[in-house]
């Protein structure tokens, strides 16, 4: 009886943990050169169920190291393109209902936000300033091309 209990508990744990940490691939076209691809809100609406990473930005940045340089470094190292959009343009999208501040990096899978960097929360500040910490965060969700 105890053996059955532990087997059920183990099975539930595995199911729960795998559902919470399920990594996925971006759509193939985003494994490219490691560039920002500037888009508009209209372009974003046409992406539908694609999997992508979106960088929203302000025309100013209060960080000691510009966060776009941190993101660009990660993108170049891993040959992943991010979509890019000004915050003014981003406010015209459905995703803005969840993400209220910029700069932000938003991971999207099938038109749903998986996670995003919230520039108003202290727990994300290191990810805006350190390539390795940003990379660890994004790799919790997104498979790199080297994972193929």
Over range 107-129, report the average pLDDT: 91
Give pLDDT tens digits for 59-90: 765 555 578 889 999 999 999 999 999 999 99
Mean pLDDT for the chain overall: 84
Residue of 128 and 81 predicted with greater confidence: 81
Q: What is the pLDDT of residue 4?
A: 54
Query: Does 9 reside within a domain?
Result: no
What per-residue confidence (pLDDT) applies to 58? 83
Quick one: what percent of the chain has pLDDT higher than 90? 57
Total domains in the fold of the chain: 1
Assess if residue 17 is contained within a domain: no
pTM for the model stands at 0.81
Query: Is 49 exposed, middle or buried, given 0-12, 13-18 or 19+ CB atoms closer than 10 A?
Result: exposed
The pLDDT value given to residue 109: 96
- Phi then psi for 53, rounded to 5 degrees? -120, 135
In a domain, 96, yes or no: yes
CATH of the domain at 85: 3.40.30.10
Q: E strands of the chain, at which residues?
A: 36-38, 52-57, 82-86, 104-109, 112-116
Task: Provide the residue range defining the domain that includes 97.
Answer: 23-147
3-class secondary-structure state, position 49? coil
Q: By mean pLDDT, which of 7-16, 20-29, 82-91 is the weakest?
A: 7-16
In a domain, 11, yes or no: no
């Amino acid at each position: 009886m105890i053996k059955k209990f532990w087997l059920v508990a183990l099975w539930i744990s595995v199911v729960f943990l795998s559902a919470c940490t399920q990594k996925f691939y971006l759509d193939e076209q985003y494994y490219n050169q490691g560039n920002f691809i500037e888009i508009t809100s209209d372009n974003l609406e046409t992406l539908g169920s694609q999997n992508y990473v979106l960088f929203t930005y302000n025309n100013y940045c209060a960080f000691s190291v510009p966060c776009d340089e941190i993101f660009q470094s990660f993108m170049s190292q891993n040959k992943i393109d991010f979509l890019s959009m000004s915050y003014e343009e981003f406010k015209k999208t459905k995703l803005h209902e969840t993400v209220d501040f910029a700069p932000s990096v938003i991971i999207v899978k099938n038109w749903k936000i998986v996670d995003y960097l919230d520039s108003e929360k202290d727990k994300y500040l290191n990810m805006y300033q350190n390539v390795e910490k940003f990379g660890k965060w994004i790799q919790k969700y997104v498979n790199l091309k080297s994972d193929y």
